[in-house]
Amino acid sequence: MSTENEGNEGNAVPSAPSVPSAPPVPAAAPEGAPQGAPPAPQTPPAAPADAPTAQVPGAAHQGGVGPSTAAQEQYPYAPPSPQQPPAGSAAWPPPPPAVPSYADGGSPPAWGAPVPSDEQPRKRRASGLVAAVAVAALVAGGVGGALGYWAADSSGSGSSGSTTVAASNSPKDFKREAGTVAGVAASALPSVVTIDAKSGDGEGGTGTGFVYDKEGHILTNNHVVASAADSGQLTATFSNGKKYDAEVIGRAQGYDVAVLKLKNAPDGLTPLALGDSDKVAVGDSTIAIGAPFGLSNTVTTGIISAKNRPVASGDGSSNKNSYMSALQTDASINPGNSGGPLLDAGGAVIGINSAIQSTSGGGVGQSQAGSIGLGFAIPVNQAKNVAEQLIKTGQPVYPVIGATVTMEEKTGGAAISNEGAGGTPAVTPDGPAAKAGLKAGDVITKFNDTAVESGPTLIGEIWTHKPGDKVTLTYKRDGRTETAELTLGERKGDS
């Protein structure tokens, strides 16, 4: 698991999108149609009065672009077959094959009319190629658009018809609904900031934050601002380019949450609406906004892939970890997205993007690897509780059970250590765990109804609550399963 380090030394240059292959070009004329054949005579030879005539339609088009180049021949003396109704009936001759309108505004030859000269089919084939390029241009964007225009312009200087198709609405008239991704992004981007943090020695990185209230408080990750919290410099840049100096009001290393305040905050700040992360469901749509690799105001989308993921993340600069029971999303999150909002489909904040799983093997916070579709966000309900405490007192408050557990992964639960830090008792005397009867060596396997697989899992679950909450622990001792109810205690500040 790796937290997104923010040390972006330079801006990445986005690579040009690949141009998709063009649709198939219409098939060439069927064999046997001579290219130099003269046009069919305008007036067929006289036929006997009792001999009905039948006309054979041209060949069907391959690919649906332009008419077939096969010549249409008329057979004045061809009698109808026994299966064919006589000429003049409602079912004969059959209706002409359906063909699309032509790119140059022309019309296909009239049913039964003589075929144009061989020069005209070559012009139609060129139009087919232009149409294929135009389709690619719609997919590939500007590069394809320029190519499509060049091909249309050079396909026939003598042609006065247009090969372009206009949309029914011009961009200035096209309106994005509030519930679309574009609508949510347009509404949220003015309240998202790119944070530049520089330490006292000039080093720094880039992260993200968002407007928490109208007083100018900005909510972000602790690891985004940690290097500049004491003697560095912090700035917050809005999507309109306006930049403001900022200062740290409080930060919680264990929660990986920090609150900044803008100096000389402008009037009219619009805080992002906060959702309810407890009501989020797996499969819900997500929208992430941030500055991956320094690319500010980047919007990505995905879904909630899982809930209550135990995540222990570090900032790469200390041996202290942050713990969360995270929301997992496949929205693209990269270094620089840290601290940015994870929004639901309605535009409400449901989490703070904080960590990614990396394939580099470096662990959380020790790699600049990009997204592999495994991103993790602090649930906003927890982040809100921490933010309110930091704004109020400047220091975090943590709920605790009063016991030290091991951080080993494969213990079948959270095992209470034999002793605490510095030789202190593993179970705090008169603490919540001691009052509930827990002892060193007990293995906690459940926290309320949530299975506990390790020490980090237990801590992440505890920190989704508040001091004073009553919880139920299930644990194993000497092969027996026991339960205990306790009231969570509190610890102030980061130790």
* 246 CB burial (10 A radius; 0-12, 13-18, 19+): buried
Tell me the backbone φ, ψ of residue 184, rounded to 5 degrees: -65, -45
Whether residue 57 contacts residue 94, with contact meaning beta carbons closer than 8 Å, is answered with yes
CB atoms within 10 A of CB 317: 13
196 is known as an active-site residue: no
Classify strands 443-447 and 341-343 as parallel, antiparallel or unpaired.
unpaired
Q: What is the dihedral of CA 430, 433, 434, 438, to 10 degrees?
A: 180
Q: Is the bond preceding 93 in cis, omega lying within 30 degrees of 0?
A: yes
Q: How would you class 450 by CB atoms within 10 Å of its CB: exposed for 0-12, middle for 13-18, buried for 19 or more? A: middle
Q: Which of 322, 338, 354, 454 is catalytic?
A: 338
Question: Is the four-CA dihedral 176, 181, 182, 186 of positive or negative sign?
Answer: positive
488's CB contacts (< 8 A; 6+ apart) are 399, 400, 401, 432, 462, 465, 466, 467, 468, 469, 470, 471
- Cα–Cα distance between 260 and 234 in angstroms, integer? 9
Residue 476 CA to residue 198 CA, distance in Å, equals: 48
Q: Looking at the DSSP assignment, which residues form a beta bridge with residue 248?
A: 260
Nearest Cα to Cα of residue 459 among 254, 217, 281: 254
Is 318 catalytic? The answer is no
321: β partners: 314
- CA dist 308 and 305 (Å) reads 11
Query: Choosing from 104, 196, 223, 315, which is the catalytic residue?
Result: 223
Selected catalytic residue, list 256, 315, 344, 442:
256
The reply to whether 191 belongs to the active site is no
C-alpha span between 355 and 333 (Å, rounded): 8
**What amino acid positions are annotated as catalytic residues?**
223, 256, 338
